[in-house]
Chain A
Amino acid sequence: MSNKVMTYKAMKRREMLTAYAFILPTFVGFVIFIVGPMLASFAISLFDWNMLTPPRFIGLANFQQLFNDSRIGAVYLTTFKLAFMIVPTNMILGLSLAVLLDRKMPGLVRSFFKVSFFFPFVVSAVAVSIIWTFMFHRDLGPFNYYLGLLGIDRIPWLNSSTYSPFAIMIADVWRNVGFYVLVFLGGMQAIPRDFYEAAEVDGASVWKQFRHITLPLLSPTILFLTVISVIGALQIFEQPQILTNGGPGDATRTIVLYLYEQGFRFFDMATPLRLRSHCL
């Protein structure tokens, strides 16, 4: 009897050790590459350090400096402005196209639209941004050419602080909107058709069906997409770096781009850390 209990205990013990062995690779890496750097990032933000001279403890002075750096305010403002332009455009355009795609049409036609909307999303943001630097070329780019046919004067998309945020928005939406369309479409197709049939019997208009059936039942999808698109937009890097390099002036310089420039081009390690700690 006691022997049996012992073997049971031994088995449990063995399972436990095996379990730790299974999570070991992930956790060793997790501690080294994620937890460690995170803690270090807090620690270093209390020091004055440019990676060439030894670090010197200065406490919260870095954060004080952060509030005194006038450019940082502008960089934050630009990032939020861009996010404020990009997120609603992606959401509204994505939802509208998904509503249209959800209508009755042959399966093959729907697949064609899904594939063509989604393809830019699997192409790297770098490639997309380079394509759009040519598309936006003031004199020779197709974008201005076709706008010209519509009677719109040539727009200096990348060299004007008025238009460059829009250029970045267009390049971003062009790449990402397909993702929104497909996630919205997936959410809509999960809504039981009976609801719409019942509403139709009761004489509800298409708009009312959308407003009172589709939107409420889609709210988890809407919430999810809002969260990830806000996170994504606040971290936007490739588009401003490649299209405008943050310019003209600081008109499109985002947080991550500023962090990259300060930290990795000018080797001021404290600025990016201050920036990031501030973000938290």
Chain B
Amino acid sequence: MATQAAAQNTEAVKLQKRRKPIPWGTIFTLMILGVGALLMIAPFMWIISAAFGKTTEVFVLPPRWFPQNPSLENFEEVFNQVPYHLFMFNSVKLAVIVTIGQLITCSMAAFAFARLQFPGKNILFVILLSSLMIPGQITIVPLFILVRNLGLYNTHLALILPGLINPFGVFLLRQYFVTIPTELEDAARVDGANVFTIYWRIILPLSGPVLTTLAILTFVGMWNAYFFPLIMINSPQLQVITVGLTLLRGQYGAGALGPIAAALTMAIVPVLIVFLLLQKYIIRSVVSTGLKT
């Protein structure tokens, strides 16, 4: 009896198994993706754990992925060597100013190109767009000479003023503005609204998503900028975080992992927090620039 029941049981199990085969394909997929994700995350963990280690006992083998005897020595060391708080402040300041400025300049130009009629509109738009095809470095030497002659060398204005011009941003916003229905605008015009009111009260409030996209792209781009600050800024007090990292590295050479890891951690963790909070928008913004064309 018991054996019969057991046999029936195994039969049932077999049936169940047949109905639901082990999804080898899925397991294999998840394993490969898992290894990929691990390769992406592990270097960050190694750096962060080295940052919180003792200055003397980092760079050990096998590599440590979690800090042992956590300490803040390395962070103190960073601030003893370079004005790292100024680097961070400068980076935040520049990114915020350029982002806000670009939202204003780009949205104004995009509004004119999308909604207003004026002679030369198409040709000006084409000229603006064609500059996207030209690599940025072609202008770097004359731009440097210009900035120096304007007396802006080694000031933040040297980074802010050219940063306010973004033909791609104008294009991105213009493509969105033309899709907004004209009914609202017509109604507002009948009520006597002027052009500025339409821009400020109708078009901008309806363009939240695309303005967010531009803001994220500009902010991330400015935060990570390296080539321009490297060339335009000379004083350490005015320097940004990316160049600051290389300055710090220059003081130690390749041997001192601890303090540099601490500086890297301070550069990366704020980005990580913002990224995790806004990941949906950030991913959408960056990827959408790749899909809209």
Contacts and interface: CB of A to CB of B under 8 A. Distances in A.
Nearest to A41: B142
A40 B108 CA distance: 28
Given A22-B116, A117-B36, A187-B291, A105 B264 contact: no
Contact of B141 (A97, A179, A256, A272): A272
A103 B245 contact: no
A123 B221 CA distance: 10
B162 A123 contact: no
Contact of A264 (B131, B231, B264): B231
A116 B37 contact: yes
Given A30-B167, A33-B143, A130-B249, A183 B290 contact: yes
Contacts of A115: 275-276, 279, 283
B205 interface: no
A38 B134 contact: yes
B227 A237 contact: yes
B215 interface: no
Interface string A255-280: 01001100110000100110011011
Interface in B1-53: 25-26, 29-30, 32-33, 36-37, 39-44, 46-47
Nearest to A44: B142
Name the interface size band of chain A: 35 or more
A150 interface: no
Contacts of A238: 226-227
B40 A116 contact: yes
B260 A113 contact: no
A240 interface: no
B112 A97 contact: no
Interface of A is mostly: helix
A124 interface: yes
A257 to B, nearest CB: 10
A129 B41 CA distance: 15
Interface residues of B, number: 93
A41 B146 CA distance: 11
A156 interface: no
B249 A29 contact: no
Given A119-B275, A126-B242, A183 B287 contact: yes
Given A16-B119, A119-B272, A123-B271, 6 more contacts: A25-B109, A33-B146, A34-B167, A101-B33, A113-B33, A122-B220
11 contacts: A12-B117, A18-B195, A19-B117, A22-B116, A23-B109, A33-B139, A116-B37, A130-B264, A135-B43, A182-B287, A256-B137
Interface of A: 12, 15-16, 18-20, 22-23, 25-27, 29-30, 32-38, 40-41, 44, 51, 97, 100-101, 103-105, 109, 111-127, 130-135, 137, 140, 142, 145, 174, 178-179, 182-183, 186-187, 190, 220-221, 224-225, 228, 231, 234-235, 237-238, 242, 256, 259-260, 263-264, 269, 272-273, 276-277, 279-280
Interface of B: 25-26, 29-30, 32-33, 36-37, 39-44, 46-47, 59-63, 104-106, 108-109, 111-113, 116-119, 121, 124, 128, 131, 134-146, 161-162, 164-165, 167, 170, 194-196, 199, 220, 223-224, 226-227, 230-231, 241-243, 245-246, 249, 254, 257, 260-261, 264, 267-268, 271-272, 275-276, 279, 282-283, 286-288, 290-291, 293
